[in-house]
Structure 1
C-alpha cells in the first residue's frame, strides 16, 4: 500500500493499493457512512435520438458508502455526493478499486486500530515461502501480511526405511518447486521444516547459492496444514518472522489462550463488552471473519462500539486474519480480551 496523501484533521487519507492484501486491508477499514472518492466508468449515450450511441466515459465520483464487497476487485457502493453531468447527486453507483488505483477515504474520525492497519499495509515487508516436508510428502505455503496461503502439495514414492535413489529424486522435485516459487514470489527468506533430519538431505540437493542464503531451518512434528502454524511458533523462527503479521497473530492467540487458563481473559461479545466497560481490558483481539459476518448482518455497529470504547480506555485493539488463529478465535466467539485484573 502506498499512502499518497493524509489530512487526518479532516479525516482524509488517499491510498493506492498495490496487491490483493492491500485491497483486503481497505475492505476492513472502509465502513458505511465513509465518503470514498475514485475513478469509475459508465456507459452514456451521445448524439440525438436518431443517431445516439453508447460510449464508456470516465468519471471521478465521491460516494457515501452503503456497502462493499471484495472479489478480485474491491467494489464500494453508495450514493453520489456530487452533481455531475450524466450522474445526478443522490443516485446509486459503485466504485471498483483494483490494485494500482488511487482511492480517497474520508471519515468523521479514524480509529487508532484502523490507522495501525493501514500503517502495517504500508510497511515494506516481503513474503516468506514455507516448505514442510518429509521423504514422502511436501506442502508449500506463502506467508504475507494477511496470513498464510497454501500453494501446493506434492508426493513421492520412497521406501519406508533408508534414503534411497527415489528419496533423492523426490528431494530434487522439492528443490525444483522451491526454485520456481522463488522466481515467482521473490520471498525474503525460505523456511524448510521437517520432522527429524530430512532437511539436511534437502539442503544437500540445493545448488543455487542465492537460494541457500534464503534458507531458514525449522522442525515440525508432521507434514500437514497444521504444521504451518506449528512452524510459525518455533523459537528459531522468532527473529526471522518478527515482521510477519501471521507470526504476530499466532503469538497473540497464544497469549489469549494462556490468559484464559489463568482467568485473565474474557471472550465472546457479551463478556468482552462487560470487561471493556469496566476498564479492565489491556488488549482486545477481534477476528476479521466476525467483522465481515456482522457487517453482512447489519450488526457491526455493536462490535465497533466495543472496539472504540476499548481504544478510548487505552487498550490495544488488534484485528487478526491468519487462518489458524482466526479459527481458534472464532471458536471463542470471534472476540477476546486480555485483562488487567481478574473480574469478580
Structure 2
C-alpha cells in the first residue's frame, strides 16, 4: 500500500494488491468520505442525442460512505454512498453512487478522527517487504512474487536445453537473459531475491544477476536444500522449514509457525487455541486472543460486516491479526481449519 498523509483528516492511498483492499475494507467506515475517480452515465441534452441513452464519462467525486463491501473474494472493493462533491456540474449532489476500487486505483479517505488501529493498519512496515522466489535449473525456471502471505506465480520459463544424452548448442547466458527480463517487471527496491534449485545453476544465475544489476537496491540470497526447479520448486520452498529460516520475519513464516503451534497444542489437548468463528469470537470477546489468522473463506461463509467488526475489535485490544488466501499452502491449511484460528494468552474452556 502506498500512502501519503495530507493532513490530520485526509490520507491518500494506492492499494497494490488484494491484501491492501482488505485493509481498506477494515479502515473505511460509514460516514467517512472517499474521494476518487469513477465513471457515471450522464444524459446528454443535445439536438441529435438519443433520449434513452447517456454517455459514460470520467469524473472525480467525493462520496459520503453508507456501505462498504468486498467483491469477488478480495479482487475489488465496492464503496456505496451519496455524492457530496464532483468536478462535473451534470452530476447531481445528493444522488447515490458506488465506487469500485481495484489494485493501483488511488483514493483519498477523509475521517473526522483516525483511530490508532486504523493508522497502524496503514503504516504496517511488512506491506513494503517483497520477495521474489526463483526456482531454476538448466531445463526451466519458476518465478514467484511473495508479498505478505500472497503468492503470485508467473508462467514457467523454459531453456530449451536437451537431456544429457543429447548434444545441443544450449546457451545458458541467453536463458539467464530471459529470466532476468521477466524479473524486471516484478522487482522493486528493497525486495529480496531468493534463488534455489538443483545443481549449480542457482549459483551461476546469482553471479549473473549480481553483475547485471549491480546498481539495484535489492538483496540476493542463495538457498540450498530445494532440489526442484520451475513452479514445483516454488511450492516446495513455501512449505519447507528452509522457508521459515530464510524468511523468519515475513508474514508467511510467522503464520506458518502459528499454524504449527496450534496443531501441536491440538495434539496435546491444550486449551490455548481456537478453531472456527464461534469459539474464536468467544475468546476475542474476553480479550484472550494473542494471534489470529483468517482466510477469505471466513468472509464468504459468515456475515462480512460482523467479521470486519470482530477483526477490528480484537486488533484494538492488542491482538495480532494475519490474513491468508489460497495462493499458498498456509492459506489452504487455514481453510481446512474453519477459516479462522487463534492462539490465546491463557487457557479458555471451550463449549
Contact 2:276 2:341 in 1 (8 A): yes
Task: Give the TM-score of the pair, scaled to structure 1.
Answer: 0.74
Matched, 1:19 2:25: no
C-alpha contact (below 8 Å) 2:297/2:339 kept by paired residues: yes
Question: Distance in 1 between the 2:61 and 2:197 partners?
Answer: 53
Q: How many Å separate the matches in 2 of 1:201 and 1:137?
A: 10
Q: What runs of 5+ residues in structure 2 fail to find an aligned partner? A: none
- Say how many residue pairs are matched: 324
Contact 1:75 1:94 in 2 (8 A): no
Match of 1:253 in 2: 259
- In structure 2, distance between residues paired with 1:57 and 1:217: 48
| Shift in CA distance, 34/285, structure 1 to aligned 2, threshold 3 Å | farther
Partner of 1:2: 3
- 2:67 is paired with a residue of what secondary structure? strand
Task: Report the CA distance between 1:165 and its aligned residue.
Answer: 6.1
Name the counterpart of 1:303: 307
In 2, Cα distance between the equivalents of 1:266 and 1:4? 38
2:133/2:194 contact within 8 Å kept: yes
2:137·2:202 contact (CA, 8 Å) conserved in 1? no
Does residue 290 of structure 1 match 2:298? yes
How big is each residue's C-alpha offset from its partner over 1:246-286, in whole Å with a ceiling of 9 and x where there is no partner?
34433443344344344231111122123223443222222
Q: Which shows bigger deviation, 268-277 or 53-62?
A: 53-62
Q: How far apart are 1:336 and its partner, in Å?
A: 0.7
Q: Kindly provide the CA deviation profile for residues 170-221 of structure 1, in whole angstroms up to 9, marking residues without a partner as x.
A: 85565233311332223533211124xx1x2442365453458743111225
Instruction: Give TM-score scaled by structure 2 length.
Output: 0.73
> Which runs of 5 or more structure 1 residues have no equivalent in the other structure?
none
1 or 2, which has the higher helix percentage?
1
Task: Give the C-alpha shift of residue 142 in structure 1.
Answer: 1.4
2:226 alignment counterpart: 220
Q: Contact 1:41–1:57 at 8 Å: present in 2 too?
A: yes
Separation in 1, partners of 2:134, 2:16: 23
- The answer to whether 1:190 aligns with 2:199 is no
CA shift for structure 1 position 124: 4.4
Distance 1:314 1:69 in 2: 25
2:84 alignment partner, one of 82, 85, 90: 82
**2:178 matches 1:177:** yes
User: Following the alignment from structure 2 to structure 1, what is the Cα–Cα distance between the partners of residues 26 and 202?
Assistant: 43
The match for 2:238 among 229, 238, 250 is 229
Equivalent position of 1:147 in the other structure:
150
- Return the alpha-carbon distance in structure 1 between the equivalents of residues 204 and 323 of structure 2: 41
RMSD: 3.9
